[in-house]
């Protein structure tokens, strides 16, 4: 799987075993966790400082709960890797990045050049999210 991993980070990827949310919450030193669509990302908030990797799983691309999970974690200050795994498709990459993902492990590999192009889809953005981009309304008013 490693060769299909796209990362937008400079640090080296965590090699810690990735636990399910339940197992993670039961352990007190685990550093990597996977959350499924129905699980509450806020359960991780008390533990953010010790986490190096959160995998957010997308069993089907049409299930968009992972976008909210990602944003919530970033909004609460999570700084580690946030990796989208599973049915992660080219046309979803730019939105995923805007929601805070900086790692992508698509079940079907995506070429790095295609991914770069996808990240550049939008010259500007209308909303302020967690990706640090200044939204159009801010640019309009010099904010």
Partner 1 sequence: MYQYDEYDQAMVDARVEEFRGQVARRMAGEITEDQFKPLRLKNGLYLQLHAYMLRVAIPYGTLNGRQMRLLGDIADKYDRGYGHFTTRQNIQYNWIKLEDAPQILADLATVEMHAIQTSGNCIRNISSDHFAGAAADELVDPRPYAELLRQWSSFHPEFDYLPRKFKIAVIASDTDRAAMRLHDIGIQIVKNDAGEIGARFYVGGGMGRTPMIAPVIRDFVPALQMVSYAEACLRVYNRYGRRDNKYKARIKILVHEIGADEYRRQVEEEFAHILTLGLEPPQAEFERIAAFFADPGLESGLADGYDRSDPDFAVWADQNTAPHKQAGYKAVVISLKPAGGIPGDASADQIRLMAELAEAYSLDELRVTHTQNIVLPHVKQSDLYALWQKLDAAGLATANLDLIGDIIACPGLDYCSLANARSIPLAQKISARFASPERQRTLGELKLKISGCINACGHHHAGHIGILGVDKKGTENYQLLFGGSEAADTSLAQIVGPGFNEDGIVDAIETATEVYLKARAEGERFIDTYRRIGAAPFKEAIYG
Residues that bind partner 1 (CB under 8 A): 37, 40, 61-65, 67-69, 71, 75, 89, 91-92, 94-96, 98-99, 121-129, 135-137, 139-141, 143
54 and 33 Cβ atoms separated by less than 8 Å: yes
Q: Smallest distance, Å, CB 50 to partner 1?
A: 22
14 and 53 Cβ atoms separated by less than 8 Å: yes
26 vs 122, beta carbon nearer partner 1? 122
Residue positions counted in the chain: 143
What does the alpha-carbon distance between residue 34 and residue 41 come to, in Å, rounded to a whole number?
Answer: 10
In degrees and rounded to multiples of 5, residue 5 shows phi and psi of: -80, 125
5 vs 131, beta carbon nearer partner 1? 131
30 vs 88, beta carbon nearer partner 1? 88
109 and 3 Cβ atoms separated by less than 8 Å: yes
116 vs 127, beta carbon nearer partner 1? 127
What does the alpha-carbon distance between residue 6 and residue 112 come to, in Å, rounded to a whole number?
Answer: 7
Q: Smallest distance, Å, CB 69 to partner 1?
A: 8
Q: Smallest distance, Å, CB 23 to partner 1?
A: 22
Q: Smallest distance, Å, CB 38 to partner 1?
A: 9
Tokens at 137, concatenated: 């309304």
């Amino acid at each position: 799987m490693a060769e299909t991993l796209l990362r937008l980070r400079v640090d080296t990827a965590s090699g810690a075993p990735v636990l399910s949310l339940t197992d993670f919450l039961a352990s007190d030193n685990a550093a990597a966790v996977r959350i499924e669509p129905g699980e509450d990302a806020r359960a991780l908030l008390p533990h953010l400082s010790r986490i190096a990797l959160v995998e957010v799983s997308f069993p089907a691309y049409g299930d968009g709960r992972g976008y909210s999970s990602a944003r919530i974690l970033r909004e609460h200050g999570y700084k580690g890797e946030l990796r989208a795994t599973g049915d992660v498709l080219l046309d979803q990459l730019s939105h995923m990045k805007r929601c805070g993902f900086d790692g992508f492990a698509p079940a079907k590999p995506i070429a790095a050049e295609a991914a770069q192009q996808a990240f550049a889809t939008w010259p500007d953005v209308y909303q302020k999210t967690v990706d640090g981009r200044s939204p159009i309304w801010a640019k309009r008013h010099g904010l």
